[in-house]
Amino acid sequence: MTLCIIPIYALLGGASLSLLRASGMVFIANLMRLLGVRTWNSLNSWSLVVLVNLLVNPAVVFSLGAQLSYLLTLMILIAPKLSDIKLGVYLNLLSLPLILWQTYKWNLLTMALTILIIPIFEWLILPSVVLGTMCHWLRPLCNQVLTACSLGFVLLKRLPMEVVFGKPPLIIVCFWLGLTLLLLVKPKKRLVICLLLTYGLTFMMIHLPLTSEVVYFDVGQGDATLIRDKFNRTVTLIDTGGKVAFTKEKWQVRQSKTAGQTVIANYLLSKGVGQIDQLVLTHQDSDHVGNFPSLSQVITIKQIFIPAGMEKLPSFQGRVRQARLSQTKIWPVTVGNSATLRQVKLLHPFTAGKGTNECSLVLWYNLKRTSYLFMGDLDRANELVLLAKYPNLTATVLKVGHHGSKTSSDPRFIGKIKPQLVIISAGRHNRYGHPHPVTLATLAAANIPYRLTAQRGMIKIETDFFGTKLVDFAQQTGTSSFLD
């Protein structure tokens, strides 16, 4: 009867990885008992389920749910008899490396809740469900108990107990897992000290990097660039990317994560960065600012800089209402009125406007012998105005305006700036035909190499004690040739 019921239960329960693992182990154990195999044990069932799962779906090894389910089950099978508190501690120690590797964050309440959740479930939640189902006159009381439990978990979630750790190296993750399993078998004080020491050193290594970087994110047809100083002294994000939104009925809107969350926020969290010191939104277009509200739900934003006049636009005001900006300051800026802007120098606009392409913020950044110029969507006419205002303006790396459109990158402007490398941010097979052949011809005529995010993916330029290195993530190769 059990052999017949277990597969049906697994399917009706949602067939999640953890449920399939548990159901598979029970099914195999009962099957072996029915066949009279007396030497079979739980560890054999666990091993067989792992092998079958890997044969059917090898990619499951990359899933956090599968990693935790199989590893924690293995720990319970091989661990000596432990009290509930010790078991909870070891479960947390074993899951922590995997959680940090996958999510880069850790909630300080996790260990306490892991220990308390079993008695809460056994003494409150389960009795309330059973009594409320069987005794209708107890349902109001049981509902109140369940509501109180739910509200308690919601309030705990809101507490500022989450620590952004960052992504530890894989070799360190394996070391932590091995050391924890060794500690489980042979609990010794020096192993605990070694474990705590490596966690502390890894945290410092991630949060106090010795390199500075400029990262051109691949966010599709949009713009997003990160400037991060060594030791994470100042973190500046220029635009957030986003999709052009069309009016839709409520039922047509899909609830999905944006590139601001899956690309930008994940990268920042992996580097131990939970706060953006300066978010610079160059102008109003959705492909530059559309991901700003969703990004703010994950990463704290300290200050926002926009071209003066853009703060009056209903579209921008709507995004501000959607964002999480409890203590964020918004600064409308122009040249000569940007004293609070650090790390980068503002070159444009000179007067207040309406947040259009012609009003785009233009930024210049210098690090050692490498200078960077970020053009937003500035048009050709204002590129020449910029040259007239700054006749000696040059840049080692130029991020061309408007995704390489023919409306930007005037040949006279390119010839005067004389960049050693051009970055173009554009989406694969985009409907606008960016970058335009005219722009590519301008770069070819000036003998200037370029990198396109649609081909290269995320592009990063790192600077450390040894020099500056360009990394193409699509090819996973590093080179310094653009500075030669």
- Residue 358 confidence (pLDDT) above 60: yes
Q: Can you read off the two tokens belonging to residue 139? A: 């349902």
* Beta carbons of 297 and 319 less than 8 angstroms apart: no
Q: Tell me, rounded to whole angstroms, the distance of Cα 4 from its chain centroid.
A: 43
Please state whether 272 falls in left (phi above 0), alpha (psi between -120 and 50) or beta: left
More confidently predicted of 238 and 76: 238
pLDDT value, residue 416: 94
Output the pLDDT for position 66: 87
Residue among 294, 296, 217, 224 nearest 255 (CA)? 294
pLDDT category at 15 given cuts 50, 70, 90 is confident
pLDDT at 484 over 50: no
- Can you say whether the dihedral through the CA atoms of 444, 446, 452, 458 is positive or negative? positive
pLDDT on residue 120? 87
Of the candidates 29, 27, 34, the one whose C-alpha atom is nearest the C-alpha of residue 6 is 27
Strands 212-216 and 459-464, bridge-based pairing: antiparallel
Give me the pLDDT at residue 475, please: 66
Q: Using pLDDT thresholds of 50, 70 and 90, give the confidence band for residue 136.
A: confident
Q: Looking at residues 205-223, what average pLDDT do you find?
A: 95
Instruction: Give the pLDDT of residue 244.
Output: 67
Higher pLDDT pick, 249 / 172: 172
pLDDT in tens, 244-299: 655 555 555 566 788 899 999 999 999 999 999 999 999 999 999 999 999 999 99
Average pLDDT over residues 183-190: 86
Query: Is 476 a residue whose pLDDT tops 80?
Result: no
The torsion of the CA quartet 224, 229, 230, 233, rounded to 10 degrees, works out to: -120
Residue 408, both tokens: 């930007």
Average pLDDT over residues 237-242: 95
Residue 315 has pLDDT above 70, yes or no: yes
Q: Residue with structure tokens 């999510």?
A: 103
Q: What is the mean pLDDT of residues 22-40?
A: 90
pLDDT at 321 over 70: yes
| Full-model pTM | 0.86
Lowest-confidence region among 159-163, 345-349, 371-375, 406-410: 159-163
Q: What percent of the chain has pLDDT above 90?
A: 64
Peptide bond preceding 437: is omega within 30 degrees of 0, i.e. cis?
no
* pLDDT one-digit tens code per residue, 74-98: 888 887 777 777 888 888 898 999 9
Mean pLDDT of all residues belonging to the chain: 90
Question: Quick check: 301 pLDDT over 50?
Answer: yes
Annotate the chain with three-state secondary structure. Answer: CHHHHHHHHHHHCCCCHHHHHHHHHHHHHHHHHHHCCCCCCHHHHHHHHHHHHHHHCHHHHHCHHHHHHHHHHHHHHHCCCCCHHHHHHHHHHHHHHHHHHHHCEEECCHHHHHHHHHHHHHHHHHHHHHHHHHCHHHHHHHHHHHHHHHHHHHHHHHCCCEEECCCCCHHHHHHHHHHHHHHHHCCCHHHHHHHHHHHHHHHHHHHCCCCEEEEECCCCCCCCEEEECHHHCCEEEECCCCCCCCCCCHHHCCCCCCHHHHHHHHHHHHCCCCEECEEECCCCCHHHHCCHHHHHCCCEECEEEEECCHHHCHHHHHHHHHCCCCCCEEEEEECCECCCCCCCEEEECCCCCCCCHHHCCEEEEEECCEEEEECCCCCHHHHHHHHHHCCCCCCCEEECHHHHCCCCCCHHHHHHHCCCEEEECCCCCCCCCCCCHHHHHHHHHCCCCEEEHHHHCCEEEEEECCEEEEEECCCCEEECHHHC
pLDDT of residue 108: 86
Each residue's pLDDT tens digit, 98-110? 999 999 999 888 8
Least confident of 10-24, 40-54, 202-216, 439-453: 10-24
| pLDDT of 480 higher than 60 | no
pLDDT of residue 253: 54
Does residue 385 have a pLDDT over 80? yes
